[in-house]
Chains A and B, each alone.
Chain A
Amino acid sequence: QVQLQESGPGLVKPSQTLSLSCTVSGGSIISETHYWTWMRQRPGEGLEWIGYIYYSGTTYYNPSLKSRVIISVDTSKNQFSLTLRSVTDADTAVYYCARQFFQYWDYWGQGNLVIVSS
């Protein structure tokens, strides 16, 4: 059974950088059929797709966040990461990592709440 687990700080100061990692267990991140995705959900709101990475390092981002986002992968750790620069309170959200198969997400992490506040 594949499992994903987010980790990272729950509090980030405005203008600083948010960094989260997602560790994959029960399966290899080196997969020709899967992409590894980050999404977020602001409090009381819907889901927003942030972007994905392929094990080779190929990435694709939401145009609305592209200038501030980097998603990277570390195959030796079976892990991928999210970096979001210059955060504001609008970036306060639960951040989810998920495994993408074709055009849907079949396994999700439990979510990591990140609050942007001084």
Chain B
Amino acid sequence: QSALTQPASVSGSPGQSITISCTGTSSDVGGYNFVSWYQQHPGKAPKLIIYEVTKRPSGVSDRFSGSKYGNTASLTISGLQAEDEVDYYCSSYTSTATYLFGTGTKVTVL
């Protein structure tokens, strides 16, 4: 199974909105509403920011939102802030009862 495809980098200016895509297949992203997103600071463990495509855990800023269309899920960060300049990974449940992660996206705040 191949990793889910994410853009290597996405950039935006402070206050802008950016969107990170996560593309899979009908056997993973497209087949289930079990996409989650993680934020990872350098040298730290990933932190859950979105689960089940659109849901936000308690304590996570409402500037983060998730969506899905077909085989592509997306994470949108609105009101971009300097602290958002870290790595983001998507994950999906698959038809073989395993889990795939995305290739990862580095967000740059210009």
Please state if B89 and A46 are interface contacts (CB–CB under 8 Å): yes
Number of A-B contacts (CB under 8 A): 60
- Of B11-19, B45-53, B68-76, the one contacting chain A is B45-53
The closest CB in chain B to the CB of A37 belongs to B99
Which chain A residues lie closer than 8 Å to B51 at the CB level? 102-104, 106
Given contacts A62-B98, A63-B96, A104-B36, contact A47 B48 (CB under 8 A): no
Choose one: A60, A104, A106, A109; the contact of B91 (CB below 8 Å): A104
Please state if A47 and B89 are interface contacts (CB–CB under 8 Å): yes
B22 to chain A, nearest CB (A): 11
Please state if A47 and B91 are interface contacts (CB–CB under 8 Å): yes
The closest CB in chain B to the CB of A4 belongs to B45
Size bin of chain A's contact surface? 20 to 34
Which chain B residues lie closer than 8 Å to A89 at the CB level? none
Please state if A48 and B91 are interface contacts (CB–CB under 8 Å): no
Given contacts A46-B89, A103-B36, A103-B52, contact A110 B45 (CB under 8 A): yes
User: B24 contacts the other chain (Cβ, under 8 Å)?
Assistant: no
Which chain A residues lie closer than 8 Å to B93 at the CB level? 103
Which chain B residues lie closer than 8 Å to A104 at the CB level? 34, 36, 48, 51-52, 91
Which chain B residues lie closer than 8 Å to A111 at the CB level? 44-45
Which chain A residues lie closer than 8 Å to B89 at the CB level? 46-47
Please state if B45 and A96 are interface contacts (CB–CB under 8 Å): yes
Which chain A residues lie closer than 8 Å to B34 at the CB level? 102-104
Please state if B44 and A46 are interface contacts (CB–CB under 8 Å): no
Which chain A residues lie closer than 8 Å to B91 at the CB level? 47, 49, 104
State the CA gap A64–B38 with chains docked (Å): 23
Which chain A residues lie closer than 8 Å to B1 at the CB level? 63-64
Which chain A residues lie closer than 8 Å to B101 at the CB level? 46-49
State the CA gap A104–B66 with chains docked (Å): 14
Given contacts A46-B102, A103-B36, contact A109 B45 (CB under 8 A): yes
List 10 tightest A-B contacts by C-beta distance, closest first.
A103-B34, A108-B45, A104-B36, A49-B99, A104-B51, A47-B101, A103-B93, A46-B104, A46-B103, A46-B101
